[in-house]
Amino acid sequence: MSAGFDLRSSKPLLLAGIGNPDRGDDGFGPAVAARFSKLSLPNVETIACRRPLDLLDRWQGRRLVILVDAALPHERPGRLFRLEPLRQKVAPAALSSTHSLGLFEVIALGRTLDLLPHRLVLYAVEALGFSPGAALSPLVAAAVGKAVRRIARECRAA
């Protein structure tokens, strides 16, 4: 458990869809957040997030934070992964940007500064591409509903 988590906290669960909706499959996180918010689940706050560094302010003191992001293409675009980055060792890809820290750097920074939620769950979809202006690729778009259902189950059980 992170010492940054306050047991007295009554903050709602947080779902953060990370990514840029104008960069192809990077829009997966915001697309999941948009569809999930329509479920209007009680005690769940849903946000779309462009800069992982901003999460440090948003996830402090929360019991459960669920992040949704797109992962680099590998073998099967649209494949959905569930990870617990505070419990599992994850090897992040090298960063190509700059003015913003990557998600795993932000988690590492949160760990160092004691600014993490109690539990962190990451749903990541394997992307096909991140072309500027492109829509979600069909297989990734098809994974949006599946991710929303799995996250909703997890929130209800939390």
Structure tokens given for 140:
């990734």
101 binds another protein (CB under 8 A): yes
> At 71, which helix (H) or strand (E)?
strand 64-71
Of 3-11, 36-44, 62-70, 97-105, the segment contacting another protein by CB under 8 A is 97-105
Cα–Cα dist 78/27, whole Å: 13
Query: Toward another protein, which CB reaches closer, 104 or 135?
Result: 104
45 binds another protein (CB under 8 A): no
56 binds another protein (CB under 8 A): yes
Which residues have a Cβ under 8 Å from the Cβ of 134 and sit 6 or more positions away?
A: 23, 24, 25
100 binds another protein (CB under 8 A): yes
Query: Toward another protein, which CB reaches closer, 76 or 89?
Result: 89
Min separation Cβ 17 and another protein, Å: 14
Which residue of 1, 72, 90, 113 would you call a contact of another protein, by CB under 8 A? 113
Structure tokens given for 151:
């996250």
The full 3-state SS of 75-103, as one line of letters, equals CCCCCEEEECCCCCCCCCCCCCCCCCCCH
User: Could you list the residues that contact another protein (CB under 8 A)?
Assistant: 50-51, 53-54, 56-57, 94-101, 105, 108-109, 112-113
